[in-house]
Copies of this chain bind each other. A is one copy, B any other.
């Protein structure tokens, strides 16, 4: 039992969270039913708020006390990613993936833009890992095997399965196959 403790600089933390949510001290104060002055003093660490005050304030965001103390609110958390910013991952010469938010920490989700060149195959020794995954074919076609089932998917088709069921992806066609996938928790 030991969640990593965030800094106890409550003031900076609150200011950060408030700004991430795009609220002014006055707007948050109004929603929370406290005064803007109180929020100002707290954010400057000139007072240490009571739990009841902090709770009221966080309710105005809204955000639970648990989340407030648990999560790492990095101001640098990127929200938008240019195509060129996606981190590239290659598996052999036939499979490559472009990951959304690879630089983020504490991701609960992994989204990939995958490319399977003609002939690409994740291998006879099926993949197995924890979590769940799903995806939608964007271009080309792909043969997906999941447990005892196998199907050729065309653009627009999709899949969803528990990742602990052995699975395999193959592109038999003459054209590259593009697909967008999501999985949780991230496997890399």
Is the pair B128, A1 in contact by a Cβ cutoff of 8 Å? no
Stretch in A23-31, A33-41, A62-70, A82-90 touching the partner: A62-70
Is the pair A66, B70 in contact by a Cβ cutoff of 8 Å? yes
Copies in the complex: 2
Q: Which of B5, B49, B64, B108 contacts A67 (CB 8 A)?
A: B5
Main secondary structure of the interface of A (DSSP, over half): loop
Interface size class of A (residues with CB under 8 A): 20 to 34
A1 surroundings in chain B (CB, below 8 A): 67, 71, 108
Closest to A130 in B: B130
Report Cα–Cα, A68/B71, bound state, in Å.
Answer: 14
A2 CB–B CB distance under 8 Å: yes
A53 surroundings in chain B (CB, below 8 A): 48
Q: In chain A between 1 and 37, which residues have their CB closer than 8 angstroms to a CB of chain B?
A: 1-6, 8, 10
A164 CB–B CB distance under 8 Å: yes
Report Cα–Cα, A70/B52, bound state, in Å.
Answer: 17
- What distance in Å separates the Cβ of A3 from its nearest Cβ neighbour in chain B? 5
Q: Which of B4, B70, B130 contacts A3 (CB 8 A)?
A: B70
A54 CB–B CB distance under 8 Å: yes
Q: In chain A between 138 and 171, which residues have their CB closer than 8 angstroms to a CB of chain B?
A: 164
Report Cα–Cα, A53/B10, bound state, in Å.
Answer: 13
A54 surroundings in chain B (CB, below 8 A): 51
Is the pair A5, B66 in contact by a Cβ cutoff of 8 Å? yes
Closest 10 CB pairs of A and B: A5-B64, A48-B52, A66-B69, A48-B50, A3-B66, A130-B130, A65-B69, A66-B70, A48-B51, A3-B67
